[in-house]
């Protein structure tokens, strides 16, 4: 396990994080993951988004949550292609109104009641005609997981339609609900070992033509460069 994981929790969660960090400090990785439980959530309060970077040639997962209804955190435009997301939260101080998770500090995979944060990274693989949300394993004996698709390619913010069986839950610790979001499936990871997942073929696509009004789609400005996409493991 990353040695600074307890420290990250402590900084992110204040007193609760300090308690968790102290509990995790001397535990082996497997025991650390068993500390966490899941809390069910209202699915309509969350959306999984393929968020563009690199001029729209690549995307990463962003999870937006509507915490309070005083202002809408996102808007959706449906059409014949993929559903476009307008990240309204970037236009106001969304503290206490919206939640936004952009990396593994804010979200991870949970299957069959087991936290898989140490074994899987969530990546969006862009193919010729789709963008696929994948769980990419860090061990060769684990299967790749397909969690959802955008149902088409776009250079902007695009809604990810989760596959059947997947839903949003929250991580909890000793009854305390935390900010970390799980993409959750009730089946254990062992059930996937015998179910081959079609490997999406990455494609460096040319960005779509800009909207006819001449205005490029809004992008979130990230404070640091994003890491390159993780290469796909060889097909078995």
Q: Is 174 left (phi over 0), alpha (psi -120 to 50) or beta?
A: left
Average pLDDT over residues 210-232: 38
pLDDT tens digits, residue range 104-159?
A: 999 999 999 999 999 999 999 999 999 999 999 999 999 999 999 999 999 999 99
> What's the rounded Cα separation, in Å, for the pair 236 and 160?
27
Q: Where are the domains of the chain?
A: 1-35, 37-192
**pLDDT score, position 14:** 53
d(CA 9, CA 21): 6
| Residues 55-96 pLDDT 10s | 888 999 999 999 999 999 999 999 888 999 999 999 999 999
Please give the pLDDT value at position 37. 95
* Local structure of 148: helix, strand or coil: strand
């Amino acid at each position: 396990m990353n040695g600074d994981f307890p420290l990250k929790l402590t900084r992110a969660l204040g007193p609760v994080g300090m308690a968790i960090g102290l509990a995790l400090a001397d535990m082996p990785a497997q025991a650390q993951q068993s500390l966490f439980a899941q809390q069910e959530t209202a699915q309509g309060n969350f959306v999984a988004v393929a968020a563009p970077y690199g001029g729209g040639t690549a995307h990463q997962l962003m999870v937006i949550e509507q915490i309070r209804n005083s202002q809408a955190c996102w808007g959706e435009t449906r059409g014949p292609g993929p559903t476009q997301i307008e990240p309204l939260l970037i236009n106001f101080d969304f503290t206490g109104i919206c939640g936004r998770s952009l990396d593994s500090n804010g979200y991870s995979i949970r299957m069959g009641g087991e936290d898989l944060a140490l074994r899987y990274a969530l990546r969006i693989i862009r193919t010729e005609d789709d963008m696929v949300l994948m769980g990419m394993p860090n061990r060769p004996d684990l299967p790749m997981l397909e969690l959802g698709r955008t149902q088409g390619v776009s250079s902007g913010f695009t809604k990810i339609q989760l596959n059947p069986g997947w839903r949003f839950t929250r991580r909890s610790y000793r009854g305390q609900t935390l900010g970390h979001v799980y993409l959750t499936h009730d089946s254990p990871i062992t059930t996937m070992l015998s179910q081959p997942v079609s490997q999406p073929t990455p494609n460096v696509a040319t960005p779509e033509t800009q909207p006819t009004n001449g205005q490029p789609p809004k992008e979130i400005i990230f404070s640091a460069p994003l890491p390159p996409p993780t290469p796909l493991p060889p097909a078995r």
